[in-house]
């Protein structure tokens, strides 16, 4: 039987959203449908003038956003008849203004959408088969597992703490309509995942799409219609400031980039177009600092079965317990649909109250100003401060290298050992764009030198910084370290633009005012803090081995790195140079490491920054 599916779109049903957006940009994308029809009735659909904008037709057994089991159930309900699936591959969820929202509100919201994109065929039985293989003379397959083994081996491994067997099965999820606060505070707060997330640096966000707390629930009884209006007005204002700042910052960005790229009246149109595109991207990259952490994001998120068990157990251990329980609960539900045993065999409910909140010395409403003042006093004028390191790092790494190669100190002195490991001319691993350090025996010797930094960067910068999972950090629970006074980071492009700075400071003041008003009305900090802007200052402590810090510094001392992470990395490198001058010449961006050795010098391709950084690193100044 051949099944046909079609992509179709319809005009927005919400007349208020059908026109041009407030910023004057193009109107919202059309809404999309998923529909099922008997083949014999399909002609009636084609005749429907509101739904006949067919984009493509392909021979495929089921839509991208449906599973085979869903399709089978639909076919069963329709008596096994031929079906035609109508769907979209562009947008799976229709965002709309929240229920009963004020007419002047521009905020669109929707429930989180969790889809299971890829998964193991038999997650639970594969785990039990892996466990059996440990004590068998041959490889055991999941098809050999009996129900008795599911009970006995399952209980013995899970409750005995032998959890590696549940790490084999991986699940690839599509996550939509989740807040960036949830991603930062919970989903990316550990190292055992992989994500590809929608970028706020390079994607213009024309529509105010954000998380809106549920109204008058048991967890949030004080969040009524009046509080919701305060919340949504604050988000709508933030988006208006985002649009205004984008317009204010784009000319300044274009002026700097035009000078870097030597744009003149004689320049080729393609060069002018490139600078125009880069100027817009730089403008939205900086303007995003005023957007609330409630802003929605979309991602592909992959993790192992045991990590999903841990997230479900610890779903209350973040600043966003309600959203975490909802999203992780949906992820667990998707896994249960394809293999109920993976969770139902074990009693692993979410923890009611993590210890971080037990006996907390003070409520969030009293403010974290004292902590912030103490932290900032230690930090001084730095973004990142070296607070601890391995004092015998060089000697220990040299010893470790000799242990790998089997040489004596007389045959390979410390300086020679370090040069063999770190010199990109002698060690081609240093020039690899594929991060293979942990797989290279001689590079593993760099694991024994460790450095710890205290740093202060914005919420939006830390959301990128925490993706360096091998340089873990201790990040704040904002519900315990919140402050009533505005506490934020100001990017350089805004500091140097008086008009933009005025708008920016007003946006910060209004964001904190709205957050504080909700707190004063009794709204829990968990929900009020969603109004904090991306600019919110995050104070953290992070540590890493030289192996993983080298990878981070190589990537983040590039001029294309996010401004704050670049500045922090430059300061970290400079402080390490002071305590270990011998390391100085081995640290820098890819172009610095490759110059005179490999081609191309810059690994960024068409994204080359336009500046020959390698000629004078680290003294060369970054302008934008």
Which residues, 6+ apart, have CB-to-CB distance to 471 below 8 Å? 542, 543, 544, 548, 549, 552
Task: Judge whether 121 and 203 are in contact, CB under 8 Å.
Answer: no
Dig out the tokens for 76 from the structure.
């069963």
277 is annotated as an active-site residue? no
Would you call 522 helix, strand, or coil by DSSP? coil
Please report which helix (H) or strand (E) contains residue 117, including its range: strand 113-119
Please compute Rg for the chain using Cα positions: 27
How many alpha carbons fall within 13 Å on the CB side of residue 34? 14
C-alpha to C-alpha distances, 198 to 89, 107, 111, nearest whole angstrom: 16, 19, 18
Which residues, 6+ apart, have CB-to-CB distance to 62 below 8 Å? 3, 5, 68, 70, 71, 85
* Active-site annotation holder among 87, 254, 539, 556: 556
Residue 298 CA to residue 338 CA, distance in Å, equals 23
Sheet strands side by side (includes 296-304) = 113-119, 170-179, 296-304, 194-197
Interhelix angle for 123-133 vs 147-159, to 10°? 80
CA nearest to 305, candidates 128, 450, 431: 128
Which residues, 6+ apart, have CB-to-CB distance to 217 below 8 Å? 223
Task: Judge whether 557 and 617 are in contact, CB under 8 Å.
Answer: yes
List of E strands, 278-379? 296-304
Q: Which residues are catalytic?
A: 556
């Amino acid at each position: 039987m051949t099944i046909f599916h079609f992509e179709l779109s319809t005009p927005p049903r919400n007349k208020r959203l059908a026109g041009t957006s407030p910023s004057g940009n193009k109107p919202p994308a059309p809404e999309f449908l998923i529909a099922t029809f008997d083949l014999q009735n399909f002609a009636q659909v084609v005749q429907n003038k509101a739904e006949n904008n067919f984009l493509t037709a392909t021979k495929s057994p089921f839509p991208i956003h449906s599973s085979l089991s869903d399709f089978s159930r639909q076919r069963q309900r329709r008596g096994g008849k031929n079906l035609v699936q109508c769907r979209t591959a562009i947008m799976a969820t229709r965002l709309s203004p929240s229920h009963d929202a004020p007419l002047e509100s521009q905020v669109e919201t929707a429930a989180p959408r969790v889809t299971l994109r890829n998964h193991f065929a038999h997650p639970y039985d594969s785990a039990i088969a892996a466990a059996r293989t440990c004590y068998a003379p041959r490889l055991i397959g999941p098809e050999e597992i009996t129900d008795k083994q599911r009970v006995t081996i399952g209980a013995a491994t899970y409750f005995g703490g032998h959890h590696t067997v549940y790490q084999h099965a991986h699940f690839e999820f599509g996550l939509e309509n989740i807040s960036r606060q949830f991603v930062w505070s919970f989903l990316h707060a550990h190292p055992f995942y992989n994500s590809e997330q929608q970028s706020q640096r390079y994607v213009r966000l024309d529509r105010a799409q954000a998380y809106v707390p549920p109204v008058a629930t048991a967890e949030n009884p004080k969040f009524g219609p009046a509080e919701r209006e305060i919340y949504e007005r604050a988000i709508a204002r933030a988006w208006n400031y985002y649009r205004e700042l984008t317009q204010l910052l784009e000319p300044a960005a274009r002026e700097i980039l035009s000078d870097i790229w030597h744009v003149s009246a004689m320049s080729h149109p393609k060069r002018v177009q490139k600078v125009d595109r880069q100027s817009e991207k730089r403008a939205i990259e900086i303007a995003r600092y005023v957007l609330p952490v409630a802003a929605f994001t979309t991602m592909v998120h992959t993790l192992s079965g045991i990590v999903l068990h841990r997230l479900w157990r610890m779903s209350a251990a973040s600043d966003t317990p309600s959203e975490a329980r909802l999203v992780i609960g949906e992820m667990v539900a998707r896994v249960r649909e394809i293999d109920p045993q993976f969770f139902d065999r074990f009693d692993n409910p979410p923890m009611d109250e993590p210890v971080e909140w037990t006996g907390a010395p003070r409520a969030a409403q009293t403010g974290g100003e004292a902590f912030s003042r103490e932290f900032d006093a230690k930090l001084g004028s730095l973004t990142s401060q070296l607070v601890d390191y391995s004092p015998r790092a060089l000697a220990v790494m040299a010893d470790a290298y000799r242990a790998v190669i089997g040489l004596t100190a007389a045959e390979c002195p410390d300086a020679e050992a370090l040069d063999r490991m770190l010199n990109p001319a002698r060690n081609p691993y240093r020039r690899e764009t594929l991060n293979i350090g942990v797989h290279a025996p001689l590079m593993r010797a760099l694991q024994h030198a460790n450095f710890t930094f205290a740093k202060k960067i914005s919420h939006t910068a830390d959301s990128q910084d925490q993706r360096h999972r091998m340089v873990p950090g201790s990040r704040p629970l904002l519900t315990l370290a919140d402050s009533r006074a505005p506490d934020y980071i100001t990017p350089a492009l805004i500091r140097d633009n008086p008009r933009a700075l005025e708008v920016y400071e007003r946006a910060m003041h209004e964001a904190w005012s709205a957050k504080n008003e909700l707190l004063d009305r009794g709204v829990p900090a968990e929900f009020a803090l969603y109004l904090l802007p991306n600019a919110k200052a995050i104070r953290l402590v992070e540590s890493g081995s030289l192996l993983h810090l080298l990878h981070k510094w190589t990537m983040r001392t590039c001029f294309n790195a996010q401004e704050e992470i670049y500045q922090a990395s430059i300061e970290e490198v400079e402080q390490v140079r002071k305590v270990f001058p011998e390391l100085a010449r081995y640290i820098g961006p890819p172009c610095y490491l490759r110059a005179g050795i490999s081609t191309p010098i810059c690994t960024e391709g068409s994204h080359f920054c336009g500046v020959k950084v390698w000629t004078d690193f680290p003294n060369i100044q970054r302008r934008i």
